[in-house]
Each structure stands twice: as C-alpha cells, then as structure tokens.
C-alpha cells in the first residue's frame, strides 16, 4: 500500500476510534496507581479483521518512564494507543520509574541488555543522552514513520531543528504548553491600553510596547497604595528565545555558543531594566494575581484555567511573549512532545509505528475537536467550586501559539548539556547552572553593582568548557 493510501486508511481508522477515547494526548503523571493496560469498560472498538503481523511480539514495545502510556485503572485509552493496539496489534509493556530514577534505570537496563524501546523526551536528556550513547536515531525508520509524507509536513521544521550529528534523535509529534503572558482585558481598558492580543495579531506586540505599558501602569498609584508591578512569574525562560537566538545552537556539525550575541545581551538587559525599575514581582505565584495590581503573569499557558477561576470578572486573556524589534517573528517557547528510541532497542520498527500513531492523533481534526471539547469542561472541587475553566477563544489562542507555521521553533541545546548548564543547585548563583542563571539572575538584582558583562564572561567560560566535551 502506498503512503497516501496508508495514511487515508489510518485516518479513517482514527475516526472510528474517537467515540471510545477521550484523550488525544497522555499527560505526564507520577501517579502510583496500579497500571492497567486493558481498554476501559466502555471501549467497544473492534480489532482488525486480518492479523497485522505474523509475530505479535514484534509489535510489543517496552516503555520506561515516569508516566504510563497505558491507561491507569478506570481511564480510557488515548487515541494514539487505541490506534496502535487495534490497527497494528501493538502492546506496550510499561516499566514504572520516577523522574529522578529515569536515567539510572535506563543505564542499568542498557548495560544488562534488557529489552527496552522507548523513553520520554525531556530537554535535559538531549543531547547529553546521545553523547552518553543512550539513544539511537530514528532516521532508519522514516518509511515506517511516513516522515516524508504530509503527515509530518507541519511539524517538520521543529523536527529538523532537533537534528544532531546529521540524525534525528528527537521527532516531536506536537508542540504544547507554550509560555505565555496572562493579562486582564478589563485592566487594560481601565488604563487606556490597547489589547495586547490585538497588537500581537497585527505584528505590533514588541518589547518596547510591553515595557511602555508596564511603566505607565506602575506610575499610577493604586487606590489603597498596594504596590503595583508590571510582570510576575516565569518571565526569564520565555524572554530569551523571544530575542531570536538560543544560548547554544547546533550549526555546521557543531554545538556553538551564542552568549556573545547582541540578541542574548538585549534579552538580559531587558530583564535588568525590568528589575531596576521595580517592575518584577518576585514572589512565587501559580496564577494571575487577583488584586489587579500586576499587569502581566508569565507562565505555562494551561495556568489560564486557574487564573479564570480566581478572576471571574476580569476578562482574562493570553498573549505570546513580545518580540524584540529586530526579531523577524515570534518564537515558540514551550514543550516538544516526543519519544526517544533507546540504544539497541528491542523492537525499533514497532516503536516507530507507535510514534507515528502519536503524530496521527496529534494532527487529526476530529481528535483535535474532541480535545478542545474536553479542555473547555469545568474542573470543580468535591464541593462543586470551579477550580479551572477555559473559554473557547482562550483555547484557540493557546493552540495557535503552538503552530510552527506561525512561531519559529527554538531548540535550546543548553538545557541538555549536563548539570553545569542546567541545574537549580541550592538556588544560588554559584550553584545554579548557566541556563538557570541566565533566566533568573538579572531579575533577582536591581543594583548597578551587578554587571551583565561580568555574568556574560562567567557564563562564556562555563559554556566553552561544556562545548569542549560535546565537540570532540
């Protein structure tokens, strides 16, 4: 069967599975509930009428991770899993771990030659895991993945951004959880500001506009003299890629440092200016503040549900991080959903088939409609109090921020280069990794005694030391 016919057949199969599945995307979970690989009680999907493989064991893959692909007890299967099981006769053997144990268990299983196929992708695992011989490229299985078909066309720029040593060790099947700025349209109106989301759609949402809004906002005292701030939350992580440059990139067969680039410098100077003008609220928050005295809240986009519940009358909305005026467009900063093929995988073809099922589920229109319907449902406490809720326009905006056609994918290799580059240590400048300090330090200080040039030189030497290990 040619690629087009295979894809059409699988799309038809997907449509038949949707009524009996709820989730198109399995969320990360550290649940200790007993794993249940069986289909939920309400699943009436029929298996294929013909056997999909002569040897069923060839379609059994072993997955090690801190969350299960199989449904927990009482949960329905994900669409990807239902497709893998029903159309390919696949099965997933799950080995439960925790995020802290993942790598040690992976290394011991590889050393012992135990059967293992797939492993979760997290930024801290790549490219470190490749250098330490933990993973294999997926390129030999492109035919199985149908990678050169229209199935992967939209996400291909992101997949190619992960190319390393001429191979694809990470093939994201979707992008999610974008870092965004949450704000109140009502507060914007009350202060005479244009709607940031409208400015974004017009290509006018820039650092300069963002700074001007915050400065004007805090310049007017609150009625009860409550301190006012321009921004709170995880601002540093999103602002660096919005400059149009990552700290470490892969170019011409080598990892290179961009710490001396004007883009990185301008992002750091922006954070320094925000701090010096007392625009940054430093306390840890989980949602948009309720007192109306903070203009923006930076966080993962899904926090908007809780922000809505806590601010029911403020007309909450989200907008991407603004771009510098020199940047050609807006940059995606969020999660790349992917699985990695383990070194000496037992059933690599089956693993590639499952990854294809994930891509099919992530790109199917009916599946996306089902996911939206599920996302718009209210989440309530046992007492019936709304804990999280999202509107349709908020959801549509959030999903559009994950569109690689609208947002340039940015792969920050620095997060996956070991503890010297990425660790929180004991939360001090001396013990944190380079990436963590670049995200946080300039927001923590508002003294002219701390200079970007000193921090840059310190980071430069540490990055060069790390690069020497990877560019041997």
Compute the average pLDDT of residues 462-468.
97
pLDDT tier for residue 284 given thresholds of 50, 70 and 90: confident
Structure tokens that stand for 394 in this block = 């908020």
Return d(Cα 228, Cα 214) in angstroms, integer: 10
pLDDT per residue as tens digits for the range 143-186: 999 999 999 999 999 999 999 999 999 999 999 999 999 999 99
pLDDT recorded at residue 450: 82
Alpha carbon distances (Å) from 110 to 64, 102, 339, 341, 422: 12, 12, 17, 12, 25
Q: Hey, what CATH class is 3-174+337-363 in?
A: alpha beta
pLDDT per residue as tens digits for the range 387-397: 999 999 999 99
| Domain residue extents for the chain | 3-174+337-363, 179-333+408-470
Alpha carbon distances (Å) from 133 to 137, 195, 234, 342, 434: 11, 49, 33, 9, 24
pLDDT of 41 above 50 = no
Compute the average pLDDT of residues 335-357.
97
Average pLDDT, whole number, for the chain? 89
pLDDT recorded at residue 73: 86
Which residues on adjacent β-strands are paired with residue 298?
A: 181, 233
pLDDT per residue as tens digits for the range 56-70: 678 999 999 999 999
Residues 6+ apart with CB under 8 A from 322: 181, 205, 206, 207, 209, 210, 242
- By C-alpha distance, which of 321, 287, 322, 283 is closest to 304? 287
> Residue 244: phi, psi to the nearest 5?
100, 10
pLDDT recorded at residue 14: 55
Regarding pTM above 0.85, the answer is yes
CATH classification number, 179-333+408-470, choose in 1.10.3720.10, 3.40.190.10, 3.30.160.60, 3.20.20.80: 3.40.190.10
pLDDT of 17 above 90 = no
Return d(Cα 375, Cα 369) in angstroms, integer: 10
**Are domains 3-174+337-363 and 179-333+408-470 of this chain identical in fold?**
yes
pLDDT tier for residue 445 given thresholds of 50, 70 and 90: confident
Are 280 and 273 contacting, i.e. CB atoms less than 8 angstroms apart? Answer: no
């Amino acid at each position: 069967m040619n690629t087009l016919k295979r894809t059409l057949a699988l799309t038809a199969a997907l449509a038949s599975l949707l009524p009996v599945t709820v989730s198109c995307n399995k969320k990360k979970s550290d649940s200790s509930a007993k794993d249940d690989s069986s289909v939920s009680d309400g699943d009436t999907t029929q298996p294929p009428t013909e056997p999909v493989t002569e040897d069923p064991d060839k379609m059994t893959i072993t997955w090690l991770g801190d969350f299960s692909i199989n449904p927990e007890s009482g949960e329905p299967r994900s669409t990807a899993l239902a497709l893998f099981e029903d159309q390919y006769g696949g099965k997933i053997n799950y080995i439960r771990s925790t995020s802290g144990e993942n790598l040690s268990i992976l290394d011991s299983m590889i050393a012992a030659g135990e059967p293992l196929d797939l492993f979760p992708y997290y930024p801290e695992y790549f490219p470190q895991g490749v250098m330490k011989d933990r993973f294999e490229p997926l390129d030999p299985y492109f035919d199985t993945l149908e990678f050169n078909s229209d199935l992967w066309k939209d996400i291909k720029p992101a997949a190619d951004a992960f190319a390393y040593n001429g191979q694809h060790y990470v093939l994201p099947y979707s992008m999610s959880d974008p870092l965004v700025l949450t704000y109140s349209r009502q507060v914007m109106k009350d202060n005479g500001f244009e709607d940031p989301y409208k400015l974004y759609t017009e290509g006018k949402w820039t650092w300069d506009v963002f700074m001007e809004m915050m400065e004007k906002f805090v310049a007017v005292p609150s009625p009860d003299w409550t301190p006012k701030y321009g921004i709170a939350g995880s601002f540093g992580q999103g602002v660096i890629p919005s400059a149009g440059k990552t700290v470490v990139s892969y170019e011409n067969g080598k990892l290179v440092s961009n710490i001396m680039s004007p883009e990185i410098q301008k992002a750091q100077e922006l954070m320094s200016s925000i701090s010096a003008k007392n625009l940054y609220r430093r306390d840890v928050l989980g949602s948009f503040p309720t007192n109306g005295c903070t203009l923006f809240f930076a966080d993962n986009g899904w926090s908007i549900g809780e922000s809505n519940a806590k601010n029911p009358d403020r007309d909450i909305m989200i907008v991407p991080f603004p771009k510098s005026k020199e940047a050609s467009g807006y940059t995606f900063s969020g999660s790349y959903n992917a699985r990695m093929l383990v070194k000496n995988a037992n059933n690599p073809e089956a693993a590639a088939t499952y990854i294809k099922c994930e891509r099919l589920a992530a790109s199917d229109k009916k599946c996306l409609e089902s996911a939206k319907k599920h996302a718009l449902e209210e989440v309530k406490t046992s007492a019936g109090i709304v804990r999280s809720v999202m509107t349709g326009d908020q959801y549509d905006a959030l999903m559009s921020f994950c569109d690689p056609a609208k947002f340039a994918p940015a792969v920050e290799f620095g997060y996956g280069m070991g503890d010297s580059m990425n660790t929180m240590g004991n939360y001090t400048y001396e013990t944190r990794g380079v990436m963590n300090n670049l995200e946080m330090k300039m927001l923590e200080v508002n003294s002219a005694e701390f200079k970007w040039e000193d921090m840059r030189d310190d980071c430069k030497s540490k990055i060069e030391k790390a690069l020497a290990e990877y560019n041997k």
